[in-house]
Each structure stands twice: as C-alpha cells, then as structure tokens.
Structure 1
Amino acid sequence: MKPADTKIAFVGLGLMGVPMAKNLLKAGYALAGFDLNKDVAAKFADDKRFQFVSSPEQAIQDADITILMLPDSTIIDSLLWGSAGQSGIAEKLPKNSYLIDMSSSSPTSSKENNKKLAQLGVKFVDAPVSGGVKKAIDGSLSIIVGGQKTHFEELSPLLGCMGKSIVQVGDAGAAHAVKALNNYVSAAGLIAVSEALNAAAEFGLDTHVVNTVFNASTGRNNTTENKVENFMLNDAFNSGFSLTLMSKDVQIALKFIQDMNCYADLAQQCVATAKEADQKLGKGADHTAMYDYVRSQKR
C-alpha cells in the first residue's frame, strides 16, 4: 500500500487529529479531511495533498482507508449507522477499504462494528493512540492495534508514520479494551499522587523532595515522572489533555470491567472522583488540575 497510490479519508481533526494527519501528508499520502470546525482547514493551507471537504460522505468517496479520530463511541456509531433520521456512512464506504478507529472507543462497540462492517465488505481495525499532542506532532505516538494479523501487517507502514511503538494486542476491539484499561491505570495513578502530595504538603514536607523519593522508589509512575514537576507543583496545569476526556476514559474502562463481571471498586471511585473534579473545575480544565481539586477539598 504505497502512499502515492493511497487515498485517506480523515474524520476528526481536533488537537490530536491535525498533527496525525500532517504526518501522513509528510509521508506522501493524499487526504480528504472533515471536521465540524471548519476553521481547521486553514491549518492545512500549505498542504497540496490535503482537501478539506464539507461532509464525511464526501471524504470517504474512493477512499482506500478511512480514519476516525472522534470523541467517543456514541458519535462514531451515529456516524457509521445513522441517528435521528440521518443515514450513516457505513454502507457508503468503498468495498475492501479499511476503517481505522483511532479514537478512545468502547471495546464492545468496536467488536460489534467489526462484525457489521465485515458484512458490508469493509475491513475494520481499532488503533487507539497514547502519548498526547506532543507525540502526535513528532510522530512518536504509541499505537495499540486490534484486528486481523494480515490487516495489521498491511497497515503497519501507515501507522508507523504517526507512531513509534505499534503493538497488535488481539482481534478487533482488543486494542480499545487495552487502551481503556491503560487510561484507567494512568488516571488512578494521577489521583493517588495528587492525594499523596497534598497530604505531604499539609504535613509541612517539601513536595518536590517527596516526588523525588517517589521516583526513586516503588511509587514511581507516569504522573510522578512526567506531570508533577512539569504541570502540577508549579500550578501550570497545561499538559494539553483535558479532565473531561480523562473522566470519559475512566467511564469507558469502568463499563468494560463491569461488562466482564469483574471487581471494580477502585474504578468506581476513580470515576466518581474524576466526574466531581470535572464539574467543580469547569470546562477546559486540564487533567493535571486534579491536584488543584484535591487541594481544595477539606475534610
């Protein structure tokens, strides 16, 4: 699947979608892109191989690959299968083309979408990403892939334009399951670190020193290594990933764990904490502002 011979439809050009699409353009792919925010078209003004179109239906015309980078499964399912009297795009996708869902979607929805799309002759792959905007820009995202092995092998060069670590974890839906669980573990770590540092501060300890100890000990995690000094203790709270999205992610994980009939007490508490913090801090709050929320709570 050579870039020069491959047309891509890219639906969802938000903070992550724009740099991901730009890396595909750099690799020589031609893109037809769509987003509800028409202003994003200006970000591609200098890219001759990019065409901003007026609808998803127009984007997928003659597309070899359709990439979705959208907020959640509800939006994706509506786009594919229709809602409120509007028809979906699924039946208009070219036969034998690929649909790659790179969003943070529901594992069960993805598994069902794979079955339904296969009946239409469309090959489905779930390929959610991890790493945030910074890694989306430099093309070093971690990409988790679910789907048939042959599909994974064929798409690996394309995914390699956007990511550095590309791992197949199982059949369709498996990648979204792993991504949801990863996001839950990450969120749980953020909340735990926020509570621990707040208690340390109340005791009169230097939180910078405390975090140094965490990083040299068993408490080390992604938050202690990458977020505490850069975004939390300096009150910057500007990592580029919203608390609203974190809240959504842990809700997806909780539902998945419950669907598997597994113990989920900590996941339930993480969801409750994330929801409350999101409501209290308001629209646009960064997920690292969880530390600010924890500091504001008095017992």
Structure 2
Amino acid sequence: IEGKRARRFVDLSTVGSHMAVRIHDLLAKRNIVQLDSPVSGGVGGAEKGTLAVMVSGPRIDFEAVKSALDVIGRVFFIGEKPGSAQTMKLANNLLSATAIVATSEAVVMGVKSGLDPNVMIDVINAGSGMNTASRDKFPRSILPRTFDFGFATGLMVKDVRLCLEEAKALGLSMEVAEAVGRLWEVVIREMGPESDFTSAIKPIEKAAGVMVGEAKGGHAAK
C-alpha cells in the first residue's frame, strides 16, 4: 500500500479474527486504520439495505464512517479490539449453519414417519422450535425445492471452519459446533461449493430415503 490518501480500510469480508488482526497490524505500519466490518443477511439483505453490519475498530473512526454503513443495513459497534467483529460474525453464522442442518434433520425425520413437511414447518414456526431456517429458508427455498436462497455452500463451510479454528485457538471444546461442521463437510462433498446452502437437506434426505417438499408432502425416494 503506497501513498498517503488512504486513511481508513473498511473490510466487509468474513476472514476470521486472526486474519483481521494480521491485516490490522500490516495497515497500522502505514498509518491506516482498519475497520473490520463483516456483514450478515445474504443477498436479499444487501439488496434491501437490511444487513447486520458488525464493526470493530477505533470508536472515533467508526463514527466517521457510520453514516455510509447505515446505507447497507443496521450497524453494530462490537468493540475496539481488532478482530472482535469477526468473532461476532462467526458466532452468528455458526447458529445459522446449525439451524439449517438441525431443522433439516427434524423435518426429514417427520417425513420419514409420514408427516406433511408443510404442516411441520407451520407448527415449528408457531412453537418454540422456530428459527431462521424454518422461518425463511424452508418456505422460500427448501419446500418448493428451488434451492435458490442466495448463499453458497462453500461460503457457509468456510465460515464454520473459521469458527471451529477460532474455538480451538481459544482452547474451547464445542461439541455441537464440531458435529455441525462434520455435517457441512458432507454437504460440500456431495453438493459442491457452488450449490446453494439450502441444499444441505439433500444428503440428509438421501440417507433417510425420503424427499421433502413436494406438493403433497414428502415421499419415499425411489
């Protein structure tokens, strides 16, 4: 990085806290402030300007750029510690990744026993099991079997891997996260990194011998 015009670097990508710290340290040598600003909300959130924007960095620099970030969504100041916004983003995406595969397993179990998946999702969304997968991803992309929610499997797997790496670096044992990570490794192996992440249900369906989401409910796969 040459020249003196750049004073702040706003990074909207998800790279993990360790990489964010490395970027921070390299830019600091050039007197450039890093504002780590990963986002959540997918393509739809970006188009509507409703992303969750997580920012870490010096508070004074955050205030200087906040009005620009407000255009793309709701902005949260996470803290001044380099990489803290990345940790927040990885925690968020771990929950998102968990919701998809856990809901997929639950619905596949119901379909295997003869339940209507459409009714299942209605009940889940009216009860304590409601989550982002049952509320958004199943009605929009899984039940109609369009698998077009707009986020790639490869990106989700990357985020889960980064989360597990962060947990390991912190000396944490996260058994649920590790199980979720194993499921997503199956998804990327069978569906490919370019597939939509709602395709995560397909390997689960395959293992159970059912298909979820046809007009009259699921049926045994042939």
TM-score (norm 1): 0.67
Alignment pair present for 1:168 and 2:88: no
Q: How far 1:94 moved relative to its partner?
A: 3.1
Q: How far 1:152 moved relative to its partner?
A: 0.8
Q: Is the 8 A contact 2:155 2:193 kept in 1?
A: no
Q: Is the 8 A contact 1:187 1:270 kept in 2?
A: yes
SS at match of 1:178: helix
Task: Give the distance between the partners of 1:95 and 1:265, measured in 2 at CA.
Answer: 47
Counterpart in the other structure of 1:222: 132
SS at match of 1:92: coil
Q: Is the 8 A contact 2:55 2:85 kept in 1?
A: yes
Task: Give the distance between the partners of 2:189 and 2:20, measured in 1 at CA.
Answer: 29
> Any idea what the Cα deviations from partners look like across 1:109-154, whole Å, max 9, x if unmatched?
1123212311210010100111111221222211000111101100
Counterpart in the other structure of 1:111: 21
Show structure 1 runs of 5+ residues with no match.
1-90
Alignment pair present for 1:122 and 2:40: no
- CA pair 292-93 structure 1, distance change in 2 beyond 3 A: farther
Amino acid at match of 2:101: I
Q: How far 1:176 moved relative to its partner?
A: 0.7
Q: How far 1:102 moved relative to its partner?
A: 0.5
Q: Residues 1-299 of structure 1: matches in 2 within 5 Å?
A: 91-92=1-2, 94=4, 97-163=7-73, 165-171=74-80, 172-298=82-208
Task: Give the distance between the partners of 1:151 and 1:261, measured in 2 at CA.
Answer: 32
SS at match of 2:78: strand
Between Structure 1 and Structure 2, how many residues are aligned? 208
Q: How far 1:187 moved relative to its partner?
A: 0.2
- CA pair 173-230 structure 1, distance change in 2 beyond 3 A: same
The share of aligned pairs that are identical, in percent, is 27
Task: Give the distance between the partners of 1:175 and 1:283, measured in 2 at CA.
Answer: 25
Task: Give the distance between the partners of 1:142 and 1:119, measured in 2 at CA.
Answer: 30
Bigger RCO (CA 8 Å, 6+ sep): 2
Show structure 2 runs of 5+ residues with no match.
210-222
SS at match of 1:99: strand
SS at match of 2:173: coil
